């Protein structure tokens, strides 16, 4: 006998399993308006408190995935691979990673997001490029992936619409931090892209949503398990986010730094993170048999200029000005620079990276409300990180603002993010582990 919607909610409340058919019917009926917001909220809270099995999580993923259009990329040759990061301060990897991997011969269809909380968003960074459009149709998305090898767009109205509605409820019902719900949300969008494989970058530390390695490993493991159940090849890497990644925070600022990587430059930690993920994607895509072969290919497409040319083609295809790749000065930068300096000698013991992310948002580089307009020109340049030795008056962070007066309160927050003391602190390595099925 078919259970009613109330009986389905009660079953999950009482820690009883739900069948895939029940979950799919519940989601389908919610999208159709036959299940109320308060009923979906009740099911989300019951799932938050009592968990979902892998089978239930896969059923939820499948239901959200098939609530809208599923992209088919059969006319794009090759094993198609995307990358997803759980987000962190200064994480601009997608901007350089996609053209590098595409230049190496692996198609990269990528649906990205905007800034969330204290972390920046790939779409906002791309839109710092004059004219760049992320609101393309699915038909144009397919064309660009086929012609260029990569395309980066935002979630359209017809891609996993159930996820968009359910996420809106999670955000206001204190159910965001539920691993099975996070897994279903991420995978429903990623599996809708038409990919064959997915590489996950799960951030760990003070600037990440998962502050501890234990929580990050649990999320990564669940993503790999459920994604594999969904018929995709999935690998996750845990990477450290105690400090900002690279030295640039803010949209145009980070886009410039990503372009530096395409020219064989850039901060060591950003280069290493980019290479780690590129090697995984290239091997998954079948373009190299070993890590060493893949690493050599990454370095070759950068040194030859092939990766930079691919980014130019991608920018032009998406309506942007490709000249920024050779002339990053075309990207906006706020006219005033306010320097936050050390007030004592010592070694930086720790950085409140989340605090720096919040400072960037308050500058206008992110959103405090969904309707806020992002200022692509403002941001931070990080001079000192954990383990850096400083003297009184040395620069810690440079704040880029429209008017110097805008930086007064931000400077206080930035200064408070730094703990300076004696002795060399223990700094975690960038790469904390690899998780496979």
What is the DSSP pairing of strand 233-240 with strand 431-435? antiparallel
Q: How far is Cα 200 from Cα 236, in angstroms, rounded to an integer?
A: 4
Q: How far is Cα 408 from Cα 104, in angstroms, rounded to an integer?
A: 46
* Cβ–Cβ under 8 Å, residues 279 and 295: yes
Choosing from 189, 206, 217, 400, the catalytic residue is 189
* Cβ–Cβ under 8 Å, residues 152 and 98: yes
H-state helical runs in 51-121: 54-65, 93-103
Q: Give the distance from CA 128 to its chain's centroid.
A: 17
Choosing from 85, 185, 386, 388, the catalytic residue is 185
Q: How far is Cα 118 from Cα 361, in angstroms, rounded to an integer?
A: 7
- Residue 74, number of CB atoms within 10 A of its CB: 7
How far lies 335's CA from each of 29, 206, 238, 394, in Å? 52, 30, 37, 22
Q: How far is Cα 199 from Cα 94, in angstroms, rounded to an integer?
A: 12
Indicate the angle between helix axes 306-317 and 291-303, nearest 10 degrees.
70
Torsion angle, alpha carbons of 268, 274, 275, 278, to 10: 180
* Cβ–Cβ under 8 Å, residues 227 and 296: no
Choosing from 84, 142, 203, 256, the catalytic residue is 84
Is 185 considered catalytic here?
yes
Ordered strands of the 346-351 beta sheet: 389-390, 346-351, 418-421
Choosing from 25, 114, 125, 170, the catalytic residue is 170
Is 127 strand, coil or helix? coil
Is 112 considered catalytic here?
no
Q: Is the dihedral of CA 173, 178, 180, 182 positive or negative?
A: positive
Choosing from 124, 163, 269, 375, the catalytic residue is 163
Torsion angle, alpha carbons of 35, 40, 42, 45, to 10: 170
Phi–psi pair at 339, nearest 5 degrees: -100, 125
Is 376 considered catalytic here?
no
With DSSP H G I counted as helix, E B as strand and the rest as coil, what are the percentages for the chain, rounded to 5? 45, 15, 40
Instruction: Report residue 268 as tokens.
Output: 């060591």
Is 66 considered catalytic here?
no
- Residue 141, number of CB atoms within 10 A of its CB: 23
Residues with catalytic roles:
84, 163, 170, 185, 189
């Amino acid at each position: 006998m078919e259970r009613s919607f109330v009986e389905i909610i009660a079953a999950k409340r009482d820690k009883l399993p739900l069948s895939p058919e029940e979950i799919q019917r519940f989601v389908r009926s919610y999208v159709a308006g036959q299940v109320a917001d308060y009923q979906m909220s009740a099911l989300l809270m019951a799932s938050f408190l009592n968990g979902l099995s892998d089978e239930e999580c896969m059923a939820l993923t499948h239901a959200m995935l098939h609530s809208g259009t599923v992209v088919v990329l059969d006319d794009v040759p090759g094993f198609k691979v995307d990358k997803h990061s759980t987000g962190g301060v200064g994480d601009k990897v997608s901007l350089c990673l996609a053209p590098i991997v595409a230049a190496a011969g692996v198609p990269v269809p990528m649906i990205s997001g905007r800034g969330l909380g204290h972390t920046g968003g790939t779409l906002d960074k791309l839109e710092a490029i004059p004219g760049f459009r992320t609101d393309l149709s699915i038909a144009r998305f397919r064309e660009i992936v086929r012609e260029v090898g990569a395309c980066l767009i935002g979630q359209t109205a017809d891609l996993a619409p159930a996820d968009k509605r359910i996420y809106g409820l999670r955000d206001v019902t204190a159910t965001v931090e539920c691993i099975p719900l996070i897994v279903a949300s991420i995978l429903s969008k990623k599996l809708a892209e038409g990919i064959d494989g997915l590489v996950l970058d799960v951030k760990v530390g003070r600037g990440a949503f998962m502050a501890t390695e234990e929580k990050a490993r649990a999320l990564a493991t669940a993503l790999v398990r459920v994604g594999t159940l969904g018929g995709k090849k999935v690998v996750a890497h845990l990477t450290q986010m105690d400090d900002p990644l690279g030295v640039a925070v803010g949209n145009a600022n980070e886009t410039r730094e990503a372009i530096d990587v395409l020219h064989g430059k850039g901060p060591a930690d950003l280069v290493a993170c980019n290479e780690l993920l590129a090697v995984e994607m290239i091997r998954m895509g079948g373009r190299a048999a070993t890590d060493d072969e893949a690493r050599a290919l990454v370095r070759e497409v950068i040194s030859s200029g092939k990766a930079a040319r691919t980014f130019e083609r991608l920018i032009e295809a998406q309506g942007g000005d490709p000249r920024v790749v050779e002339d990053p000065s075309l990207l906006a930068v706020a006219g005033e620079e306010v320097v936050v300096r050390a007030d004592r000698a010592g070694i930086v013991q720790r950085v409140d990276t989340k605090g720096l992310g919040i400072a960037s948002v308050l500058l206008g580089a992110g959103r405090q409300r969904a309707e806020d307009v992002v200022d692509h020109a403002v941001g931070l340049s990080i001079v000192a990180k954990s383990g850096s030795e400083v003297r009184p008056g040395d620069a810690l962070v440079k704040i880029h603002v429209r008017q110097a007066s805008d930086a007064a309160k931000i400077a206080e927050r930035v200064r408070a993010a730094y703990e300076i003391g004696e002795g060399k602190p223990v700094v975690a390595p960038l790469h904390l582990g690899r998780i496979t099925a």
